[in-house]
Amino acid sequence: MAIKKFEIPELLKDKPSHGACQGCGHGICWRIIYEVVEELGYKNKHVIFHDLACGSHGLFATHGHAFSGAHGRAIPTATGYKRIRPDMLVFSYAGDGATYNIGMQHTVHTAARNENITAIVVNNTNFGMTGGQMSATSLIGQKTTSSPAGRDSKENGNPIDIVNLYHGMDIAYLARGAVDSVPNINKTKNYIRKAFQKQMAGEGFSLVEILAPCPTNWNLTPAAALDRMENEIFKIYTLGEFIERSAK
């Protein structure tokens, strides 16, 4: 039986530690993203547009092109770049706060324009960098530092689910994965691959949401954070592929 040897992507070799917390999902996200970038042959032909906050720890974790713009603006910054250099693989990398709170106008209008870029959204149901405040995706009942009694729909409004929001949108691809387990990591990697392939085939906008644990701000151990994902989060934010435009 052939034994598969797992090699760290060239793009991430010999770079400083990314600085994410223990049990954080970002490290796995970067790993599978850059594996796909290299497997598809875009090692020298890609740019990642980071948001600020936890996700931008990845800015200096790669040998590739990376830029970290303003909070919530990674999608328009990626859009401007792609319009000038359409041959490059271009993707944004941001969290739920950036994408569904402060940057929501871009999340809607970029999809409406079907811009030919990929948005990767790491959803950990809170604002991690600033210490665990409520975000657009915090669950009803979720205790955060700005909803200390637990999110209440009357007090705090309801969570936003991108799958519902994008219903009927004419975009290339929408999928939601997770990095809690090997099967889900492998599925998520395939979603990213499909999104990148569709972009480079000129099919338009793709968004891959990745559910990720945030044990630090959930006040849970890394193992208990994974349990929370399976027992609570996946029941609200279902995994899978939701929009897929067939190639011309």
Partner 1 sequence: MAEKAIMKGNEALAEAALRAGCRFFSGYPITPQTEVLEYLSWRMSEVGGELIQTEDELTGLHMLIGASLAGSRVLSTSAGPGFALFHEGISYICGCEIPAVLVDVQRVGGACGGISASQGDYEEVTHGGGNGDSQYVVLTPASVQEEVDMMKEAYEIAEKYRNPVVILTDAIIGQMMEGITLPDFADIDIDKFDYTYKELKDGEDGIQRGGYPGQGFPAYAAHMGAKYKAMKEAEQRWENIEVSDADVVCVAYGISSRVCKEAVRKARAKGIKLGLIRLITAWPFPEKAFAEINPDCKGLLAVEMSIKGQMVPDIKLATKCNMPVYGYFSLDVVPDADVVVETAEKIIAGTCEEV
Residue 103 dihedral angles phi and psi, to the nearest 5°: -105, 20
CB atoms inside a 10 Å sphere around CB 108: 13
Give the shortest CB-46-to-partner 1 separation in angstroms.
Answer: 9
DSSP type of residue 99? I
| Residue 68 or 126 with smaller CB distance to partner 1 | 68
- List residues binding partner 1 (CB under 8 A): 43-45, 47, 49-50, 52, 56, 59-60, 62-70, 73, 76-85, 87-88, 105-106, 108-109, 113
Nearer to partner 1, 28 or 66 (CB): 66
Shortest Å, Cβ 65 to partner 1: 4
Give least dist CB 164 to partner 1, A: 20
Least distance in angstroms from the C-beta of 95 to partner 1? 15
- Find all residues with CB under 8 Å of 229, minimum gap 6, and list them: 178, 180, 211, 213
Q: Is the CB of 21 or the CB of 88 nearer to partner 1?
A: 88
- Check if the beta carbon of residue 11 is closer than 8 Å to that of residue 64: yes
Separation of first and last alpha carbons in the chain: 40
**Residue closer to partner 1 (CB basis): 142 or 199:** 199
Backbone angles phi, psi at 236, to 5 degrees: -95, -45
